[in-house]
Chain A
């Protein structure tokens, strides 16, 4: 059994996980959770020497380590996360904070593979599948690095993600330049971050649940009735997680075509009644499963995009909207090729 480290400071004794939380993480992830509370730099230096890549599956680390800096001042876990990565590049370092990710400066996040809120990790339902996807995904990327055999980074990425043939070219074009050439020992961290935050986090190649529901003209409840039929379109590549499921945009149509006959190039969502009928939903119930455009009560129009409710861009605060009621979030105007700009709900006149 591998060890997962939880590195915290001594500032507040209630911060590290209690026994129950520790047990939930250990049982859920099948790891030994080693909690280390660090009081000073020297102790961290000693811990660094005892970490062994082969026996360690990852490190969960406080983003702000209070009173453990050189002079006892607050220091950021980012610095030490970089040190762990330099000393043991095969160990993924995941950040923990009581803050929301959007409140932390963007570049400070980059030292961590991903970020979780402390309350969530220590709660009754920690995101076990997400953490597991990260640990196993990172391990798969490291194995790929070891076997690169002169292959380009583009080839390695294609091997890890396995894009459908009809978007393989676009996927290759979207791979950032620093991952295209030969990889080195710290590249898995950058690969992991890009795959988790950009490739799976941004609209473009993949739909999340609300995105795929909207594409089908259904609400989330309606989508759940169809979900099993769309397994062929699920993203199954590296870093895929059941808690954060994604579906290939380009594969939805084909999956739907296996369920009902779709005339060439007709909008899939315009066939939502037929789709629901195909899984045995009766006409009365269907009405409750259809997507409705946000802000247009009683409208029969089919929403054609997902938009953030406001420009706070909270991760889970998206609504199904009519395209015309939304604007492109200008922060995404120059998004990378292959990705779509995120949209914000902003009707020109109140409906």
Chain B
């Protein structure tokens, strides 16, 4: 086994430890927002996006002190590449630091809406509890689930239709670890022809931020994955993603 492999409190080899280390996740988020504020005049579509400007202001306390929670939501007007329908893309980040009696929570989500409805939602959770009560991979992506209050407040319709069963949020699919930069980039690649998005993809500053985020978030994940496949084939890559269950 690699010397770098950490152990869970139960003594099990603990892979993907970096993805489950809140301080490291937060450091990547901090570096991204810090860079985004500095590049705000270098990405052509940023100044015109009011929700993005408002979100960057909300990030300020977090930039000064990483132990403050963060809850932001930004909106982009996009066009569905196939149907050419006008949609609103909502991208959210919620960071809740651990408290003496609660574990840290990190959620990133992507939601699509039109004038009447919420059309689709996926969210990606990190689990930091080393011995979860419910067996689940970490990180994981879930489709549907409840509509967050912050999302409801952003919809122009007072009672928008939710196009999925809010009571069902399973299964949890193992996911790439994600951070705000990677979530946005992932969404931008999907809607690359939309005017509010294309300016990001062509901006040098944006691509630098994405490169740094990939190095900080994806590199340790894939290094650990490769280590499992090389050194512990019997353990299995997917199985190692599951957080040990509390006994």
Interface residues of A (CB under 8 A from B): 167, 169-170, 172-173, 204-205, 215, 249-250, 252-253, 263-268, 270, 333-335, 337-341
Interface residues of B (CB under 8 A from A): 22-23, 26, 34-35, 37-38, 40, 56-57, 60-61, 63-67, 97-100, 104
Contact of B22 with A265 in the complex, beta carbons under 8 Å: yes
Contact of B63 with A267 in the complex, beta carbons under 8 Å: no
Contact of B63 with A270 in the complex, beta carbons under 8 Å: no
The interface residues of chain A lying within 8 Å CB-to-CB of B37 are: 169-170, 173, 337-338
Q: Which of B23, B34, B56, B57 contacts A341 (CB 8 A)?
A: B57
Contact of B60 with A270 in the complex, beta carbons under 8 Å: no
The interface residues of chain A lying within 8 Å CB-to-CB of B23 are: 264-265
Q: Which of A173, A249, A270 contacts B65 (CB 8 A)?
A: A249
**Pairs across A and B, CB under 8 Å, 17 listed:** A167-B64, A169-B37, A170-B34, A170-B64, A204-B64, A215-B65, A250-B64, A253-B67, A265-B23, A265-B66, A265-B97, A266-B97, A266-B99, A266-B100, A267-B97, A267-B99, A338-B37
A207 to B, closest residue via Cβ: B64
| C-alpha spacing A264/B103, complex, angstroms | 11
Contact of A169 with B65 in the complex, beta carbons under 8 Å: no
Interface centre among B26, B40, B57, B61 (most CB of A within 10 A): B57
Contact of B60 with A266 in the complex, beta carbons under 8 Å: no
Contact of B60 with A267 in the complex, beta carbons under 8 Å: no
| C-alpha spacing A250/B63, complex, angstroms | 8
Contact of B60 with A340 in the complex, beta carbons under 8 Å: yes
Contact of B22 with A264 in the complex, beta carbons under 8 Å: yes
> Whole-angstrom distance from the CB of A275 to the nearest CB of chain B?
14
> Whole-angstrom distance from the CB of A75 to the nearest CB of chain B?
40
CB contact under 8 A between A169 and B35, given known A337-B56, A337-B60, A339-B60: yes
> Whole-angstrom distance from the CB of A123 to the nearest CB of chain B?
36
| C-alpha spacing A270/B65, complex, angstroms | 15
The interface residues of chain A lying within 8 Å CB-to-CB of B99 are: 266-267, 270
| C-alpha spacing A264/B22, complex, angstroms | 8
Q: Contacts A205-B64, A265-B67, A337-B56 given; 16 further ones with Cβ under 8 A?
A: A173-B37, A173-B38, A204-B64, A252-B65, A253-B66, A264-B22, A265-B98, A266-B100, A268-B67, A270-B99, A337-B37, A338-B60, A338-B63, A339-B60, A340-B61, A341-B57
| C-alpha spacing A341/B57, complex, angstroms | 9
Per CB-CB distance, the 4 closest pairs between chain A and chain B, nearest first, are A249-B64, A265-B97, A264-B23, A265-B67
The interface residues of chain A lying within 8 Å CB-to-CB of B38 are: 169-170, 172-173
The interface residues of chain A lying within 8 Å CB-to-CB of B34 are: 169-170
The interface residues of chain B lying within 8 Å CB-to-CB of A263 are: 98
| C-alpha spacing A340/B60, complex, angstroms | 6
Q: Which of B22, B26, B57, B100 contacts A337 (CB 8 A)?
A: B57
Contact of B100 with A270 in the complex, beta carbons under 8 Å: yes
The interface residues of chain A lying within 8 Å CB-to-CB of B57 are: 333-335, 337, 341
A248 to B, closest residue via Cβ: B64
| C-alpha spacing A147/B100, complex, angstroms | 51
> Whole-angstrom distance from the CB of A338 to the nearest CB of chain B?
6
> Whole-angstrom distance from the CB of A326 to the nearest CB of chain B?
13
Interface centre among A263, A267, A341 (most CB of B within 10 A): A267
The interface residues of chain B lying within 8 Å CB-to-CB of A337 are: 37, 40, 56-57, 60
The interface residues of chain A lying within 8 Å CB-to-CB of B22 are: 264-265
| C-alpha spacing A170/B60, complex, angstroms | 9
The interface residues of chain A lying within 8 Å CB-to-CB of B66 are: 253, 265
| C-alpha spacing A270/B98, complex, angstroms | 11
> Whole-angstrom distance from the CB of B38 to the nearest CB of chain A?
5
B101 to A, closest residue via Cβ: A270
> Whole-angstrom distance from the CB of B59 to the nearest CB of chain A?
9
The interface residues of chain A lying within 8 Å CB-to-CB of B64 are: 167, 170, 204-205, 249-250
The interface residues of chain B lying within 8 Å CB-to-CB of A173 are: 37-38, 40
> Whole-angstrom distance from the CB of A177 to the nearest CB of chain B?
9
| C-alpha spacing A345/B65, complex, angstroms | 23
Q: Which of B40, B61, B63, B67 contacts A167 (CB 8 A)?
A: B63
The interface residues of chain A lying within 8 Å CB-to-CB of B63 are: 167, 170, 338
> Whole-angstrom distance from the CB of A170 to the nearest CB of chain B?
5
| C-alpha spacing A205/B100, complex, angstroms | 27
The interface residues of chain A lying within 8 Å CB-to-CB of B100 are: 266, 270
